[in-house]
Structure 1
């Protein structure tokens, strides 16, 4: 009875996201409410103090994961908010992209930019920076929505080939199932799939777009903070690989350096002080993450993810991986991957590479299926759950193409 009630809450949360445009109720509020209610129900149904303590321990673990993500998001968003407000992102785009460019070429260049950026830094940062590109070009709402969808797919695809790009790739690597050289080969199917999607999206696109004029005026401190941001991204990767330092700790350190630099250079009379850029972070996005992760933690607690792992183990790995990737569009891919690794399926290299690609890219099939999609939905008002659905056919075709190429590479390596 309890499990049925909790599953109903999860379905209601999904429906509240889908029909946000109809109900006009912010999805962050509904998911947070239902996520909290689900854990309250677990405590009420616990019965005895021993079980209650167990639920408390699981909730504390879940909240620790959420807090880590929150702090990481807050620090990256603050950097991006500052650089965007000071026009630094627009200046970088002006250096990389021509003042006037055809829509088709813009799509391919943005896709490759997002793909490459997400391979060397986390998906959250890659999404925020890539979406910042869109603000520099004069795009209509339809084109902006299509570009946002392309960025989501490219960002998720870029993360699968390096352990610095995606948490699930790192998890599979640390479990000893794939080597670094094997992962690097995934850049081939990932790039092919992204370019295919860019071509499909550009078939009906015509004309050229013009970048908004960029005032090449910035202070030395802005350049210094931009360098601090880039250095923080690089150090996040290096320190995590060499010493196992959590990315959130490195990014918070970088953020503190940014505050210290800002305090040293700027006067107290400045209209917006460096520290106050933290207030420009959109907390709706963070609340939405909180609600979603509370619900996913509840599903893990009642054993739904473990049941999925058992079903996975009973089917052909190539098919199971493909379906698992599609399932990651509904369930967070991190606990899903953790559950599968815990089940310890006996797979060949092609199976592990297929799983790595599937759980990394499959979340792109729905806008709520990845951190990149959730952030894009909060940043691009033209992008909603329903409007995203019309892009599922080309997304699915690109996902199938990338997955198929991954299997071919994997089977070649097996022999």
Structure 2
């Protein structure tokens, strides 16, 4: 590259990468504000179950729904914390925790803000809001159904006793409901804002963050930083965002010098079917972080050859998001689960959760391919 071309490439790559990072930082800060106000207690206190099978379904569906509109890593942290308060049986709690990881990754696959890899593809233009929702909702639900169904059949229907300590009422912060529902509604409407204004997605997320910061400043005094925007920013895991920055920038360099294109040509020659490439990508994301894998896929396939909402992009979006559930180290949600439940090991996850996760993964893949074969995919 000449110096002038190198300068242009650096600026364009930095612009693309920064959009993802600012979007992620905005979303994580909003969730921190909601969590500081104990907003998630509104949902968790409403959970009612009399048997273990009922609790399995409630936890799975609740995790799936929350992960579709919130960061799935945060949802896993909240749900595992809830299970530690609700469930006395350690083995059953660990089993539910593993299924929460699978459900969170499945729930994040079908919305633009549910998973970082889906967000990357959304911001990159490979998928757009309405077709993404239409094309991946059913496969994501099938992934959840396959996983929960596998465990439901094998699980004994024992009675479930709620831990007495979980029923104790904590102090409710001022503005709990306003902050929770306001933040949730704001994040859900970011794709709508983007479609109506044609502004980048990160600007919509920052707008929601600014409005939520204004609300908290009116609800609490300036000295109470626990509930403020400033306090939330200090608790956000900035190293995670900088990790994405580094990985995406590195992959951007590989793309600019043409290595990813060359790799795509060789891979296509070795594996003649794009669907198999996407499925293998899902398995690879169980071992290698799915962020660089998706970033590499974005550079490997040209939007001219595979336009937005092409069948290949739909399958890559699904496989990258859900494939990380196959191993506990395959997603940030799994790593967080392993950190919160100290007795969870790599081998335990493979044995106890792996078969159910694999059943859900392949059922979802069948759903994506089935929709395409029947001509039901939305372009």
TM score, norm. by length of structure 2: 0.75
Residue 301 of structure 2 aligns with which residue?
A: 341
Residue 78 of structure 2 aligns with which residue?
A: 132
Change in 2 beyond 3 A, CA 1:320/1:283:
closer
Residue 324 of structure 1 aligns with which residue?
A: 281
Distance (whole Å) between structure 1 residues aligned to residue 129 and residue 18 of structure 2: 31
Alpha-carbon contact 1:300-1:335 (below 8 Å) kept:
no
Residue 411 of structure 1 aligns with which residue?
A: 373
Structure 1's unaligned 5+ residue stretches are: 1-49
Pairs within 5 Å for 1:5-404: 58=9, 60-95=11-46, 97-98=47-48, 100-119=49-68, 121=69, 124=71, 126-137=72-83, 138=85, 139=87, 143-163=92-112, 165=114, 166-167=118-119, 170=122, 174=125, 180=130, 184-201=134-151, 203-204=154-155, 208=160, 210=162, 212-215=166-169, 217-270=171-224, 272=226, 274=228, 275-297=230-252, 299-300=254-255, 303-314=258-269, 315-329=272-286, 330=288, 331-332=290-291, 333-342=293-302, 353-367=314-328, 369-370=330-331, 372-373=333-334, 388-390=349-351, 391-404=353-366
Alpha-carbon contact 1:337-1:359 (below 8 Å) kept:
no
Alpha-carbon contact 1:157-1:361 (below 8 Å) kept:
yes
Alpha-carbon contact 1:300-1:306 (below 8 Å) kept:
yes
Distance (whole Å) between structure 1 residues aligned to residue 97 and residue 11 of structure 2: 35
Q: Which has the higher contact order (CA 8 A, sep 6+)?
A: 2
Alpha-carbon contact 2:80-2:340 (below 8 Å) kept:
no
Distance (whole Å) between structure 1 residues aligned to residue 360 and residue 350 of structure 2: 15
1:258-282 CA distances to partner (integer Å, 9 max, x unpaired)? 3222223322444735132322223
**Alpha carbon RMSD of aligned pairs, Å?**
4.0
Which SS does the other structure have where 1:210 is aligned? coil
Residues 277-286 or 397-406, more deviating: 277-286
Structure 1 position 236, deviation (Å): 0.8
Distance (whole Å) between structure 2 residues aligned to residue 179 and residue 359 of structure 1: 18
Alpha-carbon contact 1:168-1:337 (below 8 Å) kept:
no
Alpha-carbon contact 1:118-1:159 (below 8 Å) kept:
yes
Structure 1 position 292, deviation (Å): 4.2
Structure 1 position 93, deviation (Å): 1.5
Alpha-carbon contact 1:160-1:186 (below 8 Å) kept:
yes
Change in 2 beyond 3 A, CA 1:184/1:214:
farther
Residues 53-62 or 354-363, more deviating: 53-62
Change in 2 beyond 3 A, CA 1:320/1:159:
same
Structure 1 position 89, deviation (Å): 0.9
